[in-house]
Amino acid sequence: MTKKILFPTDFSPASEAAFPYACSLARDSGSTLLIVHVDNTQFAYLGEGMYLPPPTASNPEVERMLGEVVPKDKGVACEHRLVVGDAALEIMRVAQEANVELIVMGTHGRGGLSRLLMGSVSEAVVRSAPCPVLTLKQPAKSPLATAKTKVRSPKTSK
């Protein structure tokens, strides 16, 4: 049986920051990298308690974006999957079905009210995944790199 590492991506900077780690771990362990995107298209409300399910047809733009997520190291084997549903539940389902040994995912690092309102996919996966989960927070930008102040060189006296 081939060893697998699951890398879920939402195409965010947090996912992009975690991707090199997933690639390195896959390369070093000889695992196949299973790159997954969950299209969590919402159900449309039709009224009187009736909902229209999300489309089952794939979005060509999302398929293209997913296909572009590839390891720079050509020695890392990878597979792509596009699934539809709740992100946390689908990540765990794919991990179970594919018998992955590790999930490597980026986290947005939200806290407080935004986490309460938006939820945390990574937290749900960490709590219920069938295997270990490595979460990586997107590195913060350096305060010096984002400062709007100008640095002036000292004046020299003549």
Q: Which domains, and CATH codes, for the chain?
A: 4-146 (3.40.50.620)
Residue 124 carries which side chain, given as an amino acid letter?
Answer: A
Read off the pLDDT of residues 53-110 as tens digits, 9 standing for 90 and up.
555 556 888 899 999 999 999 999 999 999 998 999 999 999 999 999 999 999 876 6
* pLDDT of amino acid 17: 93
Among 138, 117, 137, smallest CA distance to 126 is for 137
| Tokens of residue 155, six digits | 């004046």
Q: How far is CA 151 from CA 15, 140, 146, in A?
A: 33, 22, 13
Q: In whole angstroms, what is the distance from residue 104 CA to residue 92 CA?
A: 12
Model's pTM, two decimal places? Answer: 0.77
